Amino acid sequence: MNLPPLISSQRYLNPETVQRKAATFKQFIVSTATVELVGVRYRVLLDGHHNFAAAKLAGVEPTWRGPSPKMQRFIKRSTKDDLARFFINNLTDSDWYFMDTGQVVSELLARA
């Protein structure tokens, strides 16, 4: 199955948290949503950034989950354009970037 690219707008990771989780966790839960932004489908990492990094460090595949019920309701009641605007303009601590390369997704740079 060909999944859309995984992106995030959170770069900050606490190294001690990642190390602790990699050493002690058996399951690394990561929440994503697949959305279309400016005509391209992406998987947005919603929750579990530290779990994702810890799974990578431990050399295991994370357990992928969909969005929370609250986020599912928000997605369902939003128009495609409103949803795209929400994701593009609501960043955590970084511009959107590809999780596999760290490269900024230039098409998703915040717009006024």
DSSP state of 101: T
- Burial (CB count <10 Å: 0-12, 13-18, 19+), residue 18: buried
Q: Which two tokens stand for residue 53?
A: 């990094």
**What pLDDT score was predicted for residue 14?**
97
Kindly give the confidence (pLDDT) of every residue in the chain, 112 residues in length, as a single tens digit, with 9 standing for 90 and above: 689 999 999 999 999 999 999 999 999 999 999 999 989 999 999 999 999 999 999 999 999 999 999 999 999 999 999 998 898 888 899 999 999 999 999 988 855 4
- Whole-structure pTM value: 0.89
- Computed over its alpha carbons, how large is the radius of gyration of the chain? 14
